[in-house]
A and B are shown apart, each in its own frame.
Chain A
Amino acid sequence: MNIWLSYLIDSVAFGVTFIYGSTGEILTEKAGHLNLGIPGIMCMGGAGGCLVLNTIGKISMAMVEKGMSPLPGFVFVIAGILGAILMSMLMGLIYSFLTVTLRANQNVTGLVLTTFGTGLMKVIMSKLDHTIYLEGPKEFYRWPFHMRNDPLLYLGVLFYLSIFIALAASYVLYKTKVGLHLRAIGESPSTADAVGINVTKYKYLATIIGSAIAGLGGFYYIMDYSGSREAYLSIEAYGWMAIALVIFALWRPHFTIIGSIVFGFLFSFGSQIVNIEGISINLVMTYLLKMLPYICTIIVLIFTSIRNKRENQPPQSLGLPYFREDR
C-alpha cells in the first residue's frame, strides 16, 4: 500500500478515539456543562468494557473446557460495548448529580472526575488478564479487516459506529426539536425554563448520553487502534485532545470526523514522517510537530472569538450553574 495512503488511513483510525470523546463532550457542552471529566470518563469506559470482556472471556473458556463451543464473536463485541457504555454512564451520573443537582463548580468537579477515573481505571486494569480480555476478542472488534496487516486493520466495528454516532448526534442537535431544546438550554437555561423545557432532565440526559459516547472512545483505543496491554496508560492524554477537538470542530459533531483526521494526522506526524522516504527532518522538529494539534486548537479558538460569528461561539451559559431562583 502507498505509504501516504496508509498514513492517512492510520490517521483516520487514530482519530476515532477523538470522534467519540468530542461528540460526547459536545452533547454535554450544548447543555451548558463544560465537562473536564471526559479524560476520566474515557478511561473508565475502557476499563468497563475490558472488565466485562475479562468476565465473559473466562465464561467462554469454561464452556470450551466442558466441551461446548466458545461464545460467538458478536457476543463479545456487544457485551464489551455495553460494559463500556454502562461504566461511563455511571461516571456521567456522578458528574451530573454534582453539577446539576448540587450545583457544584463544573471545572472543579470535572477535574476531580478525571483524577478519580484515571486512577480507578489503572487499578482495575492492573487486575485484569490481557490474554483474556485483549488477545482473543481483539479480532472480533477489528472485523471485517482483522486479517490484514496494514492500517486498514483498525477500521473495525467501532469505527463505523463512531461515524454513525457523530452524524446522528449532529442530526439530533440541529434537525430535531429535542436538539433545539438542548441548544436553547446551553444558551440560556432560564429562557428555556420559562418556555417550559425541563432543564434538569435535559442536562442529566445530555451529560449521561454524552459520557456513554465518550467512554466508547477509550474502549476503542484499547481494543482496536492500539490493541496492546499498555494502551490504557495513554488514554488520559487523548481525552484532553478530545476536549480540544470540540473547539476545533466548532461544536458540531459531524465536523469532529474531519477534525479527528486532522488531529490524528498531526499527532502521529512526528513518528510517521521518519517512515516516508525522501523527507528528512531534524529530530527537534518532531517535538514542535507534537505541539501542532494544541496550537491549531488555540488558533481556531482565537479566530472564532475574533470573528465573533454567533453560531461558532461556545454555548453562552457554558460553565455556569443554573438555579431557577437566581436573577
Chain B
Amino acid sequence: MSTATLTSGLVTVGPDTEAAPETRDGVTVAKQEAPMAAATVSRAAAAEAAEPSASFGERCSAFLRVVLPPLLGFAFIIGLWAMVAMKSTDFPGPAKTLDAAITLFSDPFYQNGPNDQGIGWNILSSLKRVAVGFGVAALVGIPMGFIIGRFAFMNSMLEPIISILRPVSPLAWLPIGLMVFKAADPASTWTIFICSIWPMILNTAQGVQRVPQDYLNVARVLNLSEFKIITKILFPSVLPYMLTGIRLSIGTAWLVIVAAEMLTGGVGIGFWVWDEWNNLKVEHIIIAIFVIGIVGLVLEQFLLLIARRFSYGNN
C-alpha cells in the first residue's frame, strides 16, 4: 500500500472532497471560505430577488443578510486598527494608509531606476516569477504525476524521495538556486518551481490512481488504443485532481514568492515590502499586505472557476 501512504497525509484532495483542503491549513481557510460562502448566498439572494412576489422589505433584508456580516467584519478590523494606531506613535492609522494608497495607485507604473519602481511593476514582476516557476513545475510535475500514478514501481521508487523533500521549506532551496544560476531572479523562480511541483505531482498521481475502475473496464471491453485511453478516459478523469493540485500550488507559490523576494531583492512585491520597511514607510507595508491578499484571492477564485467548468456535474 505504498501508494496510499504517499498520497494520504498531505494536501492532496480530490474534486469531490472540495472542503477538505481548507481544514488542513488555517491560513487558507479564512481566505477562501468566506468569499465562497458569500457567493452562494448572493446567488440565493439573487434568485429570491428575481421572484416577483418578494416584497421590497424581503428583498432588502435578503440583501442585508448578504452584505451586512462582511461589512461588519471589515468595520470591526478597521476600528481595531484605528484604535491601535491612536495609541502608537509609529503605526499609521487607516486614514493615513488610505491617503498613501491613493498616492501610490495614482501612478503605479513609474520607473526611477531599478530600486524605485511603481507598485504595478512590483506586482507584475512577482506574478511573472510565479508564472514561470509554476509553469515549469506544471510541465515537469504533471507528467511525473501520471508516471507515478500509472506505474507502481515508479511510485515505490520516488515515494521516499518525495516524502523527504516535500516538508522542506522552499526557501531552503534558495541558496542552491543562487549557486546554480548565479543570479537572484532565476533563484526565486527556482524556489517557486520547488514549492509548486509537489502538490502537482501528488494530486495528479492520486487522480490517476483514482480513475474509476468502471471507466477502465469500459476501456478494456472496448479494447481502446493507448492513445484513446489517455485522451478519452485518463486525462478527463484526472483533470479535476490536476486542477486541485494547480490551485494548491499557485496558493503556495504566492505565499513563497514574497519571502523569496525579501531575500533576493530586485523588483517584486516581496522586495518592495522589505524596501519600504527600510524606508520606514509602514503604511506602504500595510498596503502591500492588502494587495498580496487580494491578488492571492483573485488567483484562487480564477482557478476555482476553471475547476468548476470541468467538474462534469457528477458530484
Question: Do A and B share a complex?
Answer: no
Name B residues whose Cβ lies closer than 8 Å to a Cβ of A.
Answer: none
Q: Give chain A's interface residues, CB within 8 Å of chain B.
A: none
